[in-house]
Each structure stands twice: as C-alpha cells, then as structure tokens.
C-alpha cells in the first residue's frame, strides 16, 4: 500500500501531465501557403542614377515565356520609392492564381513603370 505523501506526488504529476496535454492540444497551429510574394527592386534612370523619391505606378505581370506571349497574372500598384528602392507584396491587389505552378514552371516577372 502507498503512503500518503507518495499518493500526493503521483497525483501532482498526473495533474501536471494532464495540464500539459491540454495546453499542447489547444496550441495546434495550422500551416498555410503564403498567398503573396515579397518583392524588392531598385528603379534607376537610364544613366544609372536613382529615380526621384515618390510614388510610381508599376504594373507587375507573370509570364510563362521569356518574351512575347500573354501574361497569366497582372496587377498594378502605386509604389513608394525611396533612394530608388521599393518593396511590394505581389498578389496584394489581384490574388495570384492557383493555375501558376511556382514549383515546376519557368516563370518570368515583367515590370512596367508608368506608361
């Protein structure tokens, strides 16, 4: 027969174990695919100097061929540029289509600034 202090210790360990199990189950995380792509670029003038700081209208397009063809996805963003550098989230205006296979297709990003 177990002594009273031993029973209390076993009971305490059981309660701690049960609390840990409940905590682990309640913190189950869900993995998901990011629906946007972070992209950073630099805009320069033809002479290599940075463009003037400000906002620029930039068209981003994804193509499956290196030249010609039509885009499989396009969006236009108003982009803040500082010292020639800009950061955007592609897919934040128009969702990236599920038909674009980022794992096996050769894809090309087209960028058009202004008109």
Burial grade of 86 (CB within 10 A; 0-12, 13-18, 19 or more): buried
For residues 84 and 79, what is the distance between their CA atoms, to the nearest angstrom?
A: 11
User: Which residue did the predictor score with more confidence, 68 or 113?
Assistant: 113
Q: What is the mean pLDDT of the chain?
A: 83
Burial grade of 32 (CB within 10 A; 0-12, 13-18, 19 or more): exposed
**pLDDT on residue 47:** 96
Upper half-sphere CA count for residue 110 (Cβ side, 13 Å): 18
């Amino acid at each position: 027969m177990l002594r009273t202090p031993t029973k209390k210790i076993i009971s305490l360990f059981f309660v701690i174990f049960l609390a840990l199990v409940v905590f682990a189950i309640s913190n189950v995380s869900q993995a998901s695919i990011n629906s946007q792509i972070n992209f950073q670029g630099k805009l320069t003038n033809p002479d290599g100097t940075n463009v003037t700081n400000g906002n620029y209208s930039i068209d981003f397009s994804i193509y499956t061929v290196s030249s010609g063809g039509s885009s499989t996805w396009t969006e236009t963003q108003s982009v803040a540029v500082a010292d020639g550098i800009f950061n955007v989230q592609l897919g934040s205006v128009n969702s990236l289509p599920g038909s674009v296979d980022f794992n096996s297709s050769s894809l090309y990003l087209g960028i058009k600034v202004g008109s």
